[in-house]
Amino acid sequence: MSDKESATVCPWCQTEIVWDEEIGPEDSCPHCFNELNDYRSLRVHLEGDELELTEDGDELTELNSYGLAIKKRLEQQEDSMECARCQEEMVLAGNVLVEDERFTPFIPNGPAPAFIKPPFRLHMFVCPSCFQVHHSLSDEDRMRLVSEWSRPHNEEG
């Protein structure tokens, strides 16, 4: 390479681009046509094994700790549910006991009974990303519901 030429590596296609100093570098790569300036570029400085953080480093550290804690919690739970809003795996937060005084069943017109009768237990899931809350009927109450609706006296006819 002569003294009058300088080399640049395109961050997008990793092609080495040799520019003539008289013409100078262009703003885009002649191979992939992506921009070559600092726009959309991220520079990370590493010193030893530690990442050098900017002013908002405390927030970044807190988010990383939150993410690790959520990952560990998800590995420990048996049941899982996907968030309908953002498709992230949800954390099982606990159970909710629904009793007579807190639940009013919908009774349709006609002789049909209520679909589910209290007391019953719900699993409560919370999305760690968008914080949506979803409920799911407990396994025992699912079995009770199926059993009750499998009996002939609950059929419409």
For residue 46, pLDDT over 60 is answered with: no
The answer to whether the beta carbons of residues 122 and 98 sit under 8 Å apart is: yes
pLDDT interval class at 2 (50, 70, 90)? very low
Question: Which tens digit of pLDDT belongs to each residue from 96-106?
Answer: 999 989 898 88
Question: Which tens digit of pLDDT belongs to each residue from 108-136?
Answer: 887 778 888 899 999 999 999 899 999 99
Beta-bridge mates of residue 103: none
Element counts in the chain: helices (H) and strands (E): 2, 7
| pTM for the model | 0.55
Q: Return the beta strands (E) in 2-116 as ranges.
A: 5-9, 16-20, 46-47, 50-51, 91-98
pLDDT interval class at 58 (50, 70, 90)? low
Taken as a whole, the chain contains a residue count of: 157
What b/e string do you get for 12-48 counting C-beta neighbours within 10 Å, with b at 16 or more? beeeebeeeeeeeeeeebeeeeeebeeeeeeeeeeee
The conformation of residue 128, written as its DSSP 8-state character, comes to: T
Return the SS3 of 96: strand
The conformation of residue 138, written as its DSSP 8-state character, comes to: -
For residue 139, pLDDT over 80 is answered with: yes
**Token pair in block for residue 52:** 């050098």
pLDDT of residue 56: 47
Return the SS3 of 67: helix
